[in-house]
Amino acid sequence: MTSHYIAIDWGSTNLRAWHYQDGICTDSRQTTAGVTRLNGKTPEAVFDEVTQGWREKITPVLMAGMVGSNAGWKIAPYLPCPARFSDLSQQLTLVLDNVWIIPGLSVNSDGNCNVMRGEETQLLGARTLGPSSLYVMPGTHCKWVHADNETVQDFRTVMTGELHHILLNHSLIGAGLPEQQTSHESFEAGLHRGINDSDLLPRLFEIRAAHVLGELPRSEVSEFLSGLLIGNEVAAMTRQYAPDTQQPVTIVANPSLSQRYIKALELLGYQAKVLDGDNAFQAGIRSIANAVAN
């Protein structure tokens, strides 16, 4: 087992880095210098800044996320699914001495073209922390991943988070609304509607009409819309993958977002267990660091 390594989660808008010694995180750093926000600096210059003082001796560095995309530092090719979890540590892309990028995953089959970067590392950790046949990774672009203990079989992406943001901020649905408030009642009302009605598109304008006509509080439109979208997503993806109702679905996310998906799954008769996304990422990086050391 390696005792000294650096883990970096380098996305489009943010970069987070952790320094590990003897299995313990001794320091962490964060910057907004994502690969689309380098502000004229090279990726190597940003890398040198964020790891300053951490690489005084030979230290393995493992990076995941959009840093390996065609907009990043160096392209780390996607591994096509089905892909073995062990392949992630065996097909790293070398950038500098002892600095590697973890490959993303892809699906290219009839009716499904998909890619992921960064989530594959969380997925590797989640397999250790909370084994499952179906993983849900909520966020701007939610991933639903079908896997067994050895292999990622298939995955799909649902743009629920991004669609919620666009509709609320850049469409008639959210035009002129006051500051939005948390409402469990409105969220659950939207959730029931989204689960029980597969015709999502006609329902969207009805949200506008509902608050205009006084049927939905104007400060709770965000909550109803969130429920509608998440309910529709969870209903569609559980139909797609038909998980065993006796086995829990593993959700990899922060606690507040996880609760929304737990509620949707429960309404459909499924159990769920939750893993913190950062913990899953670190577990995934650790397993790859150990493989590199060996």
Coil, strand or helix at 135: strand
Beta bridge partners of 62: 7, 100
Give the pLDDT confidence score for residue 56 in this predicted structure.
77
- Tell the residue number behind the tokens 């569609």, with chain if given: 236
> What is the rounded CA–CA span in Å between residue 58 and residue 67?
22
Q: What is the pTM of this model?
A: 0.93
> What is the rounded CA–CA span in Å between residue 178 and residue 55?
49
Q: Using the 8-state DSSP alphabet, how is residue 96 labeled? A: E
In the structure, what pLDDT confidence band is assigned to residue 274 with cuts at 50, 70 and 90?
very high
Give the pLDDT confidence score for residue 2 in this predicted structure.
64
* Tens digits of residue pLDDT in 22-77: 888 999 999 999 999 998 999 999 999 999 999 877 789 999 999 999 999 999 99
Q: What's the N-to-C CA distance of the chain in angstroms?
A: 7
* Tens digits of residue pLDDT in 145-169: 999 999 999 999 999 999 999 999 9
Pairing of strands 61-64, 4-10: parallel
Dihedral sign of CA atoms 267, 271, 275, 277 in order:
negative
> What is the rounded CA–CA span in Å between residue 289 and residue 294?
9
